[in-house]
Amino acid sequence: MLNYMIYLITFAAGSILGLLYSYKQHGEPFVAVTKFNVPFALVSIVGWVLGFCSGNVILSAIGFLLAGFVMGERPGYGRKETAVGLIIAIIVYVLLKRPLLM
Amino acid sequence: MAEILIQVIIAFLAGSLLLGLHRKVMARVQKRPGPPIVQQLIHSLKFFFKETAFPKTVSKVFYIGIVFILALIWVVGVIVGPVAKDSLLILFGVYAVYKIVEHNSGSSSGSPYGKLSCVRAVLSAATELPLFAAIVFVYLVTGTMNIGEIITYQSVHGPLIYSIPLAALMFFMLIITKSPYSPFAITKDKVLISGFETEHFGFLRGFMLFSEAIAWYVLLWVFLTIFFGPLNAVGYLIGMIVISFVTGFINATTPLLSPNHSVMTQITIGAICFAGTALMIFTGVVA
Amino acid sequence: MFVPQAFISMYLPAVYAGLIVGFIGTMAIAINRRELHILILTDIVGLAMIFVVSAVGTDLAEALILPGLVVELAETLAISEILITREMRKIEQDPRANLTKSSSIFPQAFSLDMEIMTTAPNFIALVLIGYGIFLTGFTGGAVAGGGIVLYALSKKARGLPVLMLDGIAGVSGISWCLWIIGFLLFFVTPQYWLLSLFLAACGLLLKVASKVGLIGLLMREDIDNE
Amino acid sequence: MDFVTLGGNLLGTIQLGDIVLYLTPFSLFLFAVLLGFTVLIGLSKPETQVEATMHYLNNTEVKVGPKELKQRRFLAVICGIASAGAMITGDLFNFTLFMALVGILNIGIVSAVKQTSVLNSAFNYGLIAMMCSLPLFGGAAIILAATGTLSLAVLSQMPASPMVVFGAVMMLIGILGESGVAPFFASKAEMFRTAGSPYIVIIHLSSLFIIVRAVEILLLVLW
Amino acid sequence: MEFLVSIIAIALMVIGAFGVIFMKKPLDKIIMFDIMDAGFVLVVVLFKYLDVALFAALAGPLSTLVFILSIVKIKEIRTNKIASGEAND
Amino acid sequence: MRIGVLWNKLAEPKNIPRLFAFSLGIILIIGLIVPLALNPDQLYVRPAPQEQVDEGLAIAPYDRGGVPLKEPGNIDPQYPENAESLGMITGYMSPLAQFVSSISPYFGTSIYSSPGGLIDEILYYTRGFDTILESSILMMAFIIASWLSINYTMNRKNDEDEIKKDVKKAIDDSNKVASQVKANDAKARAKQLRRDN
Amino acid sequence: MISVSLFFYFGIFLAIVGSIATAWGPGVSDPVVRTFNTEIAAIGVCLVLLCYNHVLALLTLLATTVIITLILFRAIIRLEEMGADV
């Protein structure tokens, strides 16, 4: 169970960091952002893929930290990036596990 | 010991995040942006560092003692549930104590809002009955009260949700009742400010939020465990997120019922489900 | 050992009678709106309980009825007292509901000269108390209590003797302790069973009798004062 | 069904003649919680209840007077002990007696207050508690007649006949009425509108725990 | 002999019971109650429990006394009420 | 009627006892169609009604055998192994009770209710814990009632009129006494005077 | 020999008649009359206890009936005196 605790802690820590960071960046009142932030998307993809598919506690923890960082941004930011990251991570997961599934 | 600590931390973190998700879902349904998911967790942590004040009118021993009991009770819940996989009846006892604590934290402050919340906590003793009935039916089908043995039974015969769906519905109603902003949450009606929590400030409130998060996690865990068979971590994660979503939708779209209507609605649904399940068991639909 | 045939054949009529009496009592409660009447009707429900318990027809059944009766009595007393309190508080708190000329919150003076009240009570009370002491236990307590009630009722004096009530409370508390000690002795040192038997029996007698006697003191205020 | 499947391993028994008290993890948990609360009640002082005054802008404080406090604390502590006893008893009739005791104590705890609405509900609850003697004692007697025993350990080994089911149903309605769950909630809930939170908490606590224990007992008797 | 006494006892109790139910005046009711009580004492004697009969015989007057006292007091209260014009009969 | 209206009626404490009584009555009536029968295998069995009285036993109907202080009586509890001096209490008769039993065969009830005897054995020994509870119920009910009556319902300190009336009566009485004393005084003086003259 | 079952059934009859009279008898809107009628049912129960040879219970019932009547009458008197409408 220890690894799950670590994942959760890193995820929560990442979210908090992301929240702090994005409030530093954007202080204005609420806006629903429509444009796609590529760097954050990359971070998100790396994070989710590492988190789900690495199979190593430390790498997964780092992955969840990154994923949490993007997901935890202030409302209106980082939604699409998170979604893209999650979808790609799931696809990668399925591809990796396919030999096992068949 | 370490196992208990780890499970408690998991319960707290996961519970807080799920409650945050629940809030987010409700906000999106109501076309509001809503707070970040992690907000609930930050709130709970924040309260531990705030100044604590004690109202002049309180019954001090109870007022302070109750929050520790509240936290302790749900730690016991974690021990009985995810850690030891012990008897369901003890979990039920834990739930009963939780009701008491809720009741007493309302009345010990002397505030009229807390008082009203306390009276309503007594009214809503009705939610126990469906929970019982659900536990009894689980027992009748599996022949055991031990959570570990129930899991083993399900790995052989398939998840219980297929055999006694109405009992699962009863249990689900309890989860709805305990979710924030639910139509049955008469103790936390906004008319009563924050209900029984109104007069608890500072680290006392921190403990309350802490135990609320654990409570939500444990309830979801028990529901998933006894009705959806042996699950792995991903299964639990998906299940909990889905249930938080569903309850969020339900709570966002339903109004709060008046106290006695809420109680009677619960009891009526419970009675219908009870009769249905009893019929299914005794006519032999369920093996 | 098995239950005699006579009890087996008596069981069904007795239980059915209990159920029917209980049904009549509960239905009457269900259609009645006035609270005092409901209080009186619960008496009938209690009688139904005696039917159902006694129908078992063993010594155990009798041992279960005995205290049940005394408990019924005690609950009636407590609840009627609460009813009276409620009505008094209602009148007190509502300034508009001033009492009319003929009514009063507290019992009014009332005198009734009855020959029997001056001559009989002493003798009857003496017999009842003596008999109650001989019986001991719940039964003896109830019997002796009846004697004390009669005696207290026949004295004509105003005012509640608070000092005496405190004394009664003390006696009954001590006797309750006697009873507990007797009970513990039974299991800790069974060789002293005779001592514990007497402790228990006398403790219970004192307890029930003193409590029942209290009713007489209360009643004197209402019915027989001047 | 026996004690072990329901409440975990049997930790020990206390033998008092025909009445045997059983200690399982489940009953011990309930027992300990109740005793803990009883100690808390004995130690703590009541709160001051703040109420809005009708037709005026100020607040009134409802306090528990010193005389009233002694009486209510005494009754509340006894109530805690009584319901703790109900948690570990292994005899059907003994359990019903504990319930009757808890019922009368519940009325007593609020009987000394001044609010008429509270007294009203206490009176109505008292009526229910009195009527409950029929289903509780009668149900136990019917089970006794059907099986010839009152000991839960023996009852738990016996198959249930329709008569036992009837007795259990009677006991169940007695328990529902006595502990004031829906649809009989109103009389009990109104009793809580008074000051003295440490004392009234035991009313709720005892009734909830008795429901929990009653379910175990009904399961023992029926299956 | 015993049969005869049984019949007498039952007759007394029936008369007493229906008398208590159907008589109008409270004092008549008390008399009828005493008749019923007499029948009951007879039955107890018939069952050969003399001590119980003794007690029943003592308890009978006791309850009669209680009835009479209460009824007289209630009557006084009611006449007072009617006299002062609050209640009309 | 709408169900909400019905539910609102349930929130009124006054209706609850009636509702409870109604549901209890329904269950009692259902009892009439349930097959009920007494299991002949019971604890603490007693002989058939009037059997002992007809036999003319001195302590009918509670004779369960046994010799006082020597031989235990014959009863049948649930756990005989938990009660060490089982049956002794049933067999015991106090000296007074023995005397009464020697003079008449018709006082069995009183004899076996005085210390010792069957019911005492059940009430105090094998099921003693029940009796503790029952006497506690009794005690609690009386505590409630006596507290209320001493502090409220019978507390005449609250009743000012009453006190005024009593005071007035007392003053009248003392006036009367005073005048009587005066009259007596005068009478006595007159007598004295007459005697002197 | 006396017929136990005769008195047993008569006791049941009396108890049922008494409880019906208490519930719906003539003039029961007056609490005094109602309290009176419970006595009939009590006597019926006494007979049944006698037939079961529950003699001690019978003694206790006799004593408690008197006292319960006393309590009920006291409540009736007090409430009438106060002019309370219950």
pLDDT tens, residue by residue, A6-43:
888 888 888 888 888 888 888 777 777 777 778 888 88
Q: Which pLDDT score is estimated for B169? A: 86
Two structure tokens written together for D177: 């009425």
pLDDT in tens, G32-78: 888 888 888 999 999 998 888 888 888 888 888 888 888 888 888 88
d(CA B83, CA D194): 41
Q: Is the confidence metric ipTM above 0.90 for this complex?
A: no
B119 CB near a chain F CB, below 8 Å?
no
What's the gap in Å between the CA of E71 and the closest CA on chain G? 8
DSSP B197: G
CATH of domain E2-83: 1.10.287
pLDDT at F56 over 80: no
Q: Which pLDDT score is estimated for C105? A: 67
Provide the residue ranges of all domains of chain F, joining segments of one domain with +: 1-36, 51-129, 158-196
- Chains near C, with 3+ CB pairs < 8 A? D, E, F, G
d(CA B161, CA B155): 13
β-strand partners of D15: D20
Residues C66 and C166 in one domain: no
In chain D, the percentage of residues whose pLDDT exceeds 90 is 0
d(CA B62, CA B175): 27
Q: Which stretch of DSSP H or E encloses residue B242?
A: helix B233-253
Does residue C110 fall inside a structural domain? Answer: no
In chain C, the percentage of residues whose pLDDT exceeds 70 is 83
Mean pLDDT on C83-106: 72
Mean pLDDT on D19-44: 85
Q: Which pLDDT score is estimated for C99? A: 58
Two structure tokens written together for B101: 């604590």
Q: Which residues contact F3 (CB under 8 A, 6 or more apart)?
A: none
Question: Which pLDDT band holds residue F161 (cuts at 50, 70, 90)?
Answer: low
Mean pLDDT on F106-112: 77
Q: Which domain holds residue D186?
A: 3-222
What's the gap in Å between the CA of B249 and the closest CA on chain D? 27
Number of H helices, E strands in chain D: 10, 4
pLDDT at C109 over 70: no
d(CA B126, CA D82): 23
pLDDT in tens, F119-155: 778 888 888 888 888 888 888 888 888 888 877 777 6
pLDDT at F63 over 60: yes
Two structure tokens written together for D221: 């008797």
G78 CB near a chain F CB, below 8 Å?
yes
Cβ proximity of B120 and B187 under 8 Å: yes
pLDDT at C189 over 60: yes
The residue ranges of DSSP E strands in chain A, in sequence order, are none
Count how many domains chain D has.
1
Strand, coil or helix: what is B278?
helix
pLDDT at E76 over 70: yes
Mean pLDDT on C127-136: 83
Q: Which pLDDT score is estimated for G5? A: 85
Q: Which pLDDT score is estimated for G66? A: 85
Two structure tokens written together for G84: 């309370």
d(CA E40, CA E12): 8
Q: Which domain holds residue C140?
A: 115-226
Cβ proximity of G41 and E37 under 8 Å: no
Judged by CB atoms closer than 8 Å, whether chains meet at G23 and C25 is answered as yes
Q: Which residues contact B191 (CB under 8 A, 6 or more apart)?
A: none
Window 118-137 of C, Cβ < 8 Å to E = 120, 124, 127-128, 131
Judged by CB atoms closer than 8 Å, whether chains meet at F4 and B261 is answered as yes
Strand, coil or helix: what is A47?
helix
d(CA B219, CA B14): 12
Name the CA radius of gyration of chain E, rounded.
Answer: 17
Q: Which pLDDT score is estimated for F107? A: 78
Number of H helices, E strands in chain G: 3, 0
pLDDT at C101 over 70: no
Does residue B287 fall inside a structural domain? Answer: no
Does residue C25 fall inside a structural domain? Answer: yes
Q: Which pLDDT score is estimated for B98? A: 83
d(CA B46, CA B42): 6
Residue with structure tokens 């007594």?
B122
Annotate B77-106 with DSSP letters as a single string: HHIIIIIT--BHHHHHHHHHHHHHHHHHHH
Two structure tokens written together for C120: 């009989």
Alpha-carbon torsion (B43, B45, B49, B53), positive or negative: positive
Contacts of G76 in chain C (CB under 8 A): 36
- Chains near A, with 3+ CB pairs < 8 A? B
Q: Which pLDDT score is estimated for F52? A: 80
Judged by CB atoms closer than 8 Å, whether chains meet at F10 and B261 is answered as no
Q: What are phi and psi of E24, to 5 degrees?
A: -90, -50
Quote the mean pLDDT of chain A: 81
Window 126-155 of C, Cβ < 8 Å to G = 135, 138-139, 142-143, 145-146, 149
pLDDT at A102 over 60: no
Strand, coil or helix: what is D20?
strand
The minimal CB distance from F49 to the residues G4, G56, G78 is found for G4
d(CA F142, CA F132): 15
What's the gap in Å between the CA of E77 and the closest CA on chain G? 6
Closest by alpha carbon to E73, among G81, C157, C214, C103? G81
Judged by CB atoms closer than 8 Å, whether chains meet at D137 and C76 is answered as no
Q: Which residues contact F6 (CB under 8 A, 6 or more apart)?
A: none
| Residue ranges of chain B whose pLDDT lies below 50 | none
Geometric angle at alpha carbon B241, from B236 and B245, rounded to 5°: 145
Judged by CB atoms closer than 8 Å, whether chains meet at D162 and F130 is answered as no
Q: Which domain holds residue B135?
A: 2-282
Contacts of D180 in chain B (CB under 8 A): 122, 125
pLDDT at D6 over 80: no
Q: Which pLDDT score is estimated for F165? A: 63
Contact residues, chain E to chain C, C-beta under 8 Å: 54-55, 58-59, 61-62, 65-66, 68-70, 72-73, 76-77, 80-81, 83-84, 86
pLDDT at C97 over 80: no
d(CA D62, CA B261): 30
Q: Which residue type sits at A76? A: G
Q: Which pLDDT score is estimated for B150? A: 85
The minimal CB distance from D128 to the residues F17, F41, F143 is found for F17
Annotate F22-68 with DSSP letters as a single string: HHHHHHHHHTTTS-----S--SS--PPTTHHHHHT-TTTT-----BT
Count how many domains chain B has.
1
Q: Which residue has the higher pLDDT, G1 or B170?
A: B170
C49 CB near a chain G CB, below 8 Å?
no
Q: Which residue has the higher pLDDT, A98 or D36?
A: D36
Residues in chain D: 223
The minimal CB distance from D119 to the residues C39, C76, C89 is found for C89
Contacts of F108 in chain E (CB under 8 A): 49, 51
d(CA E11, CA E36): 9
Q: Which pLDDT score is estimated for C127? A: 85
Question: Which pLDDT band holds residue A69 (cuts at 50, 70, 90)?
Answer: confident
d(CA C35, CA F157): 28
Query: Chains F, G: CB contacts under 8 A, how many?
Result: 21
Q: Which residues contact B244 (CB under 8 A, 6 or more apart)?
A: B18, B19, B21, B22, B25, B220
pLDDT at E89 over 60: no
Quote the mean pLDDT of chain D: 84
pLDDT at F170 over 70: no
Q: Which pLDDT score is estimated for E6? A: 87
